[in-house]
Every structure is written in C-alpha cells, then in structure tokens.
Chains A and B, each alone.
Chain A
Amino acid sequence: MVQLMNRTDNETKATVSPMEAPVREAAKPVVYDTKQLNLWYGSHHALKNIDLPIRENEVTAIIGPSGCGKSTYIKTLNRMVELVDGVRTSGEILYRGRNIFDAKYSVEELRTRVGMVFQKPNPFPKSIYDNIAYGPRIHGIKNKKILDEIVEQSLRGAAIWDEVKDRLNTNAYSLSGGQQQRICIARALAIEPDVILMDEPTSALDPISTLKVEELVQELKENYSIIIVTHNMQQAARISDKTAFFLNGEVIEFDDTDKIFQNPADQRTEDYISGRFG
C-alpha cells in the first residue's frame, strides 16, 4: 500500500506543485467529464443530457430514487452497460481527456484503468489468493513474488488482510458477505486502477460491514478517485465530497455534498433528501 500511495502522490506532485496546494483544493483535475450523455434501453430514454465533471481524489456520490438512472450512469462509465441488449448512447464521456466511446479505445483498456465494485459481492469461486491475483494474471503478471506482494498490498488496502492472511487458500465464498465485498474491493485494487466505481456496494451488507466499507472508501480516496452510487443518503452525506442527485434520468443538482444536504438549490433535491419521496 505504501508503494501505491507513493506512486499516486508522485503523479499528483508532477502536475501540481506543493505551493499551490490550497489552490489545488479548489480545482482538482477532472478525471471523468461527461458531456451531453444520453442513453436509451431500446425506446426507453434512461439518461438525459447528463453533464458531470468528476474530479480526481474525491468521492463523488450519486443519489436518487430507484429507476432514476444512477446505476445505469455508473455502468456507462466503464461501458458495462453495453452488456444489456439494445443499449444506445449519444454524447461523450471523456476519461482523462479521451472519449471512452471512441472506436479506437478498447473497453478492456478502459476497464484496466477503471475498477468496479458491484452491489452484491461477486468473488470468483476460487481461493482468496486467486481472486486477488486474477486481474494481474490476466494482464500478464506471472512472477509469483510480485503476485504475492500485490495480493498482500491489495488485501491490506481493502482492510481485510488481518482477517484472511492465514487462509489465503480457502474459497472466497467461505467468508461473510461483508468480507466478500472487501475481497471484491481488494480484487479491484489489485490492478492499481485510477478510478473505482462502486455500485451500491453496501446495500447487501449488515451495518457493521457497511461501516467498514465506508471507512475504507475514506482511506481509498487518498489514492483513487471514487464514484459511488448509493440509495442511502446518510451514507452519501458521510463519505462523499461531491453529490449528484439524479431524477428520471436527469441530473437535477450536482454540488459539494455539504451544499446539497444543507442548502440544496433545487426544490426536488430538498424534497428527496428530506424524505418526502423516494
């Protein structure tokens, strides 16, 4: 993990000098820039003219009622949404300046840079070790020593190393749901991605496991940009820097989390966060 941090810190330093740090706070570089994104499932218009600049080393929460398009949106960011038949998109999403819909940009390349954690823990039915080593292995890392190192780093990064270090060879399905989810986070960390997408990562977890994952998200944002979909508004308020409120496929409001929850600009946002609907 130490190595991980150094790597990202160096990268950040390369672009922003320490003296400018206070200024940097105001304008971190944009990782993901969504411009006029529209998406249809067949004839159903699921995302409408989305504009959303997502910045580096922040936690961006996406909230909204069921069916508002928040899951669709996060799955569009790594093009997983295209697994559904009959999906069409227009507009563009720039990841680090490159349009992810560009025919020359392979989805494999994109997904190697952008990790994802799903709603339900979905480890592979393999050993804990093989789960974490899966990503590095398919990308051609075979050296056992390096893999051992990656596995330990990733498990430490996902705050689960101490719980599993003595049984790395047992099946990941022998773990509890909360542990499985952290294994999935570790699995995503193992290829040292740039961005981590989380699609309601705690909705299938008990409160204690949820707390652990939330704490983890706070630590991870030091090194990663995190986009998290959640139907739990308290969660969004607790862990995110920015919040986007989705409703019926539109972004109603996107701002600092404090602003959204204390002084929302739009009446619909206020109604939603105060529990009047959703």
Chain B
Amino acid sequence: MVNPTTRERASVQELIAKAGNNKRKKVIEKIIPIILFLIAGVSVLTTIGIVATLIFETVTFFRQVSLLSFIFGTEWLPFSNKEPKFGILPLIVGTLKITLIAVVVAVPIGLAAAIYLSEYASDNARRVIKPVLEVLAGVPTIVYGFFALTFVTPVLQTIIPDLKIFNALSPGIVVGFMIIPMIASLSEDAMSAVPNAMREGALAMGATKFEVAMKVVLPAALSGILASVVLATSRAIGETMIVSLAGGSTPRFDADFTGSIQTMTAYIVQVSTGDAGYGTPIYYSIYAVGFTLFLFTLLMNFLASRITKRFREAY
C-alpha cells in the first residue's frame, strides 16, 4: 500500500471508485450475451427453416408418388407424357460415379501435396504453393464446368475414342481437381499440427524423412486427414455446375463412365431452370431429390465427426 500522505492526488483505488465504471459494465455484461445469442440464433433458424421446407414439400411429393417406387425404382423419367417414373436410383448412381472418380483423383494428389507441403517444402516453396492452391479452391465452379466440357472432354476423347461429349469421366476428374485444395490444405494443417518433437524422436533413431512422414506424421494426423477426405467427398456429392455442364442429363442406372449421366444436383438445376408448373409432381420431385441429397451430406458430416473421434491419436 502506497502511503497516501506522500502525494497530492487521491489513491488509484479512490479514483476507480469515483469513476463508477462498475454499474455500466454490469449492464453491458448482461446485454452482450443476449445480443450474441440472437445473432447466433439466425443461422440456427435458417437451418431449421430450410429443413422444414424440404420436409414439407417432400411429404407433399410422396402423397403423389409412392415412397417405395422412389427409393427402389431404377428408372427416372419425370418428363414422360405417358407414365412418369420417379425412381431415384439412376440419379444416385450418377452422383456416385462423379464422387468415386473425384475421390480417386483427389485423395492421392491431395495427400501427396499435403505431405510435400508439411514435410518437405521450404518456407519459400510453401509461401508460393499454398496461395496457388487456395486460388484453385476459389475458382468459380462454372469455370471448372466449361473447362471440363471444352477442354478435358476433348483431350480425353483423343485417348478414349468412345467417350461421348457428355460423360461421367470428365466432370468426375474436374470435380476431383476442385476438391484437391480442400484435402491438401486441411490435411496439411493436420500434419503441421503434429509436434516436431515426434519427428525428432523418429529422426534420432535413424528414420529417413519419408519414414517419418509415412509412419509417424501420417498416422498421428490421420483423424484430420480422414475428416478432410470426408468433407471433400461431401463437396463432390453436392457439386452442381460442373456436372450440369459436362455430365449431361440422362439419368442412367448402369456402371458406364463414358456416356451421359445425370446427378441429383443436375436434375434439380434442370427442373429449376425449366418450366415445371407449380404443384406438379415434377415440381415437388426436386424437393424429394434435394432431401435425399441433404441426407447424403448429413451422413458424410456425421461420418466426419465420428472418424475424427475414432482415429484421434492423443498427443
């Protein structure tokens, strides 16, 4: 305690009491959380609103079309004048074809890029490569779409002469390239987060850099890497523009990658930009398809969080 008699002004404690800030602070402290809660609530309400609309219109759809024929039907012919058919399987198969190709392309490349960036790249190399990767992530998907249609497809046609102008292969590959930055960047984050002490532990035993990357860093970062793959897969499932432009609009229930396909998202685009009348089964079908798509991505998100927990290597 400073002796008050040795100076002119009042003690700091007295000045604090005089300023009387406490009352104002108490009020602010009460209001702030309420305001923040309301703002955060907006996003929750939006989600609830979207899901509610989806469910509501989907239910209406299933009043007109049987649920069983929707889930198990292998024909998707909504525009047929004689007998429209709403079997979702061809659309799911189309989506899965794209997703499969995309993942096959993106996982090895994305992981290799992540390993390079986190374990080998010098600071200078990283400073150049990371922003470039992020630019790749920022390219509008419509650009990827016409890139697939006007560049990748013709190139592929020189290798596979049977390839149709609309096919699964070309947009699949391009969707793969689109999700590479996501896998590379998130995996690199996970790998960079592995403490250096672990790398040193392995290096000090005579491990090479590659052994350290594959047998120490990769396993330690596995949960983050798998989560990045699942999120990227989810992104591929939901991808719309690329597949609408380069995939075609022929819903088909087969395993052919060279011919025209239709994905769930591309169908929604087709109907939304067309002139399906309000109240028709076609109009409601996009909600049913949208809801199916929503279930898929929800499943992937659930998977991601389970994987993150299951494979977390505590350190």
CA–CA, A188 and B198, complex, Å:
13
CA–CA, A124 and B198, complex, Å:
6
CA–CA, A126 and B201, complex, Å:
13
Please tell me which stretch of A49-57, A104-112, A206-214, A268-276 contacts chain B, meaning at least 4 of its Cβ atoms lie within 8 angstroms of it. A104-112
CB of A173 within 8 A of CB of B215, answer: no
Q: Enumerate 14 A-B pairs (CB-CB under 8 Å) in ascending A order.
A: A80-B203, A112-B205, A115-B204, A116-B204, A118-B197, A122-B195, A122-B200, A124-B220, A126-B219, A134-B215, A138-B211, A171-B313, A173-B315, A191-B206
A: contact size bracket: 20 to 34
Q: Shortest beta-carbon distance, A173 to chain B, in Å? A: 5
B59 at the interface (CB under 8 A from A): no
CB of B197 within 8 A of CB of A122, answer: yes
Residues of chain B within 8 A of A139, CB atoms compared:
206
Residue of A nearest to B197 (CB): A122
CB of B197 within 8 A of CB of A135, answer: no
Q: With A120-B197, A125-B315, A138-B211 known to touch, is A115 a contact of B205 (CB < 8 Å)?
A: yes
Q: Shortest beta-carbon distance, A151 to chain B, in Å? A: 14
CB of A111 within 8 A of CB of B200, answer: no
Residues of chain A within 8 A of B202, CB atoms compared:
124, 134, 138
A78 at the interface (CB under 8 A from B): yes
Q: Which of A176-190 contact B (CB under 8 A)?
A: 184, 187-188
Residue of A nearest to B214 (CB): A138
CA–CA, A110 and B207, complex, Å:
11
B67 at the interface (CB under 8 A from A): no
Residue of B nearest to A184 (CB): B201
Q: Which of B200-245 contact A (CB under 8 A)?
A: 200-208, 211, 215-216, 219-220
Residue of B nearest to A197 (CB): B204
Q: Shortest beta-carbon distance, B205 to chain A, in Å? A: 4
Chain B residues engaging chain A, CB cutoff 8 angstroms:
195, 197-198, 200-208, 211, 215-216, 219-220, 313-315
Other A-B contacts than A115-B205, A134-B205, A137-B215, 16 sampled, CB-CB below 8 A, are A83-B203, A107-B206, A108-B206, A111-B204, A111-B205, A118-B197, A122-B195, A122-B197, A124-B201, A124-B219, A125-B220, A135-B205, A135-B207, A138-B215, A191-B205, A191-B206
Interface pairs A-B: 5 shortest CB-CB = A125-B313, A112-B206, A122-B197, A116-B204, A111-B206
Per DSSP, chain A at the interface is helix
Q: Shortest beta-carbon distance, A204 to chain B, in Å? A: 11
Q: Shortest beta-carbon distance, B218 to chain A, in Å? A: 12
CB of A188 within 8 A of CB of B205, answer: yes
Residues of chain B within 8 A of A110, CB atoms compared:
206
CB of A108 within 8 A of CB of B314, answer: no
CA–CA, A120 and B200, complex, Å:
11
Residues of chain A within 8 A of B216, CB atoms compared:
124, 134
CB of A118 within 8 A of CB of B198, answer: no
CA–CA, A187 and B197, complex, Å:
14
Residue of A nearest to B195 (CB): A122
Q: Shortest beta-carbon distance, A274 to chain B, in Å? A: 34
CA–CA, A138 and B215, complex, Å:
9
Q: Which of A129-185 contact B (CB under 8 A)?
A: 134-135, 137-139, 171, 173, 184
CA–CA, A259 and B245, complex, Å:
84
A69 at the interface (CB under 8 A from B): no
Q: Which of B201, B206, B211, B314 contacts A118 (CB 8 A)?
A: B201
Q: Which of A112, A123, A173, A191 contacts B201 (CB 8 A)?
A: A123
Residues of chain B within 8 A of A134, CB atoms compared:
202, 205, 215-216
Which residue among B207, B211, B314 has the maximum number of chain A CB atoms within 10 Å of its CB? B207
Residues of chain B within 8 A of A116, CB atoms compared:
204
Which residue among A107, A116, A118, A125 has the maximum number of chain B CB atoms within 10 Å of its CB? A125
Q: Shortest beta-carbon distance, B225 to chain A, in Å? A: 14
Residues of chain B within 8 A of A184, CB atoms compared:
201
Q: Which of B203, B205, B315 contacts A187 (CB 8 A)?
A: B205
Residue of B nearest to A121 (CB): B197
Q: Shortest beta-carbon distance, B278 to chain A, in Å? A: 57
CB of A111 within 8 A of CB of B219, answer: no
Residues of chain A within 8 A of B208, CB atoms compared:
108
CA–CA, A140 and B313, complex, Å:
25
CB of A173 within 8 A of CB of B197, answer: no
CA–CA, A215 and B60, complex, Å:
77
CA–CA, A123 and B315, complex, Å:
9
CA–CA, A122 and B201, complex, Å:
6
Q: With A124-B216, A134-B215, A173-B315 known to touch, is A187 a contact of B206 (CB < 8 Å)?
A: no
Q: Shortest beta-carbon distance, B219 to chain A, in Å? A: 7
Residues of chain A within 8 A of B205, CB atoms compared:
111-112, 115, 134-135, 138, 187-188, 191
Residues of chain A within 8 A of B200, CB atoms compared:
80, 83, 118, 122
CB of A135 within 8 A of CB of B198, answer: no
Q: Shortest beta-carbon distance, A175 to chain B, in Å? A: 12
Residue of A nearest to B313 (CB): A125
Residues of chain A within 8 A of B206, CB atoms compared:
107-112, 135, 138-139, 191
CB of A126 within 8 A of CB of B313, answer: yes
Q: With A118-B201, A135-B205 known to touch, is A171 a contact of B220 (CB < 8 Å)?
A: no
